[in-house]
Chain A
């Protein structure tokens, strides 16, 4: 199975996937840690793929999405964005709306707390 097949398979089989440096419990980069932190805090179930563990995936994901940086968030097979976009969407409430429209469960109070903290 090529890296691209693996990526396509992972993105198809999991509602929420975060390609990141490190793991959701042990992120190894500030940007990856921020996105994983938001998802963890909001109680979102997601598959974490550690691109540091596989250089082919690390490059493959950038080609797959035509996006040059890590982390990369996918919801229901769709590329949502990197750290900047996910941060902006969290603060604007667009991430809540996306999860609601895609039937992804999350903790609304936690999302509100993040916005209040960054008010």
Chain B
């Protein structure tokens, strides 16, 4: 099932209701997502991104690993 930027954003939104989320990608394959959320404060990048990946787990890691094509950046608000 092809996935689109809006679906990714809503999946992340469910796990991070107050976050600032922006997802780009219109080729149905490669996406870039930035997630800015207070919960990331004090966490290192691996912890931050693990949290986002677990919000997407099972929904995006299809046979050809759509998750693989997600360029992810995360940070706490300045």
**B49 interface contact, C-beta 8 A:** yes
Q: Give the residues in chain B near A69, CB-CB below 8 Å.
A: 53, 65, 67-68
Q: How far is the CA of A69 from the CA of B66 in the complex (A)?
A: 10
Chain B residue nearest in CB terms to A78: B46
Number of A-B contacts (CB under 8 A): 31
B45 touches A88 (CB 8 A): yes
Interface size on B, residues (CB 8 A): 13
Interface size on A, residues (CB 8 A): 15
Contacts of B7 on A, CB cut-off 8 Å?
none
Q: Which of A20-76 contact B (CB under 8 A)?
A: 31, 66-70
User: Which residues of chain A have C-beta atoms less than 8 A from B49's C-beta?
Assistant: 81-82, 84-85
- B67 touching A85 by the CB < 8 A rule? no
Interface set of B (CB-CB < 8 Å, partner A): 45-46, 49-50, 53, 57, 61, 65, 67-68, 71-73
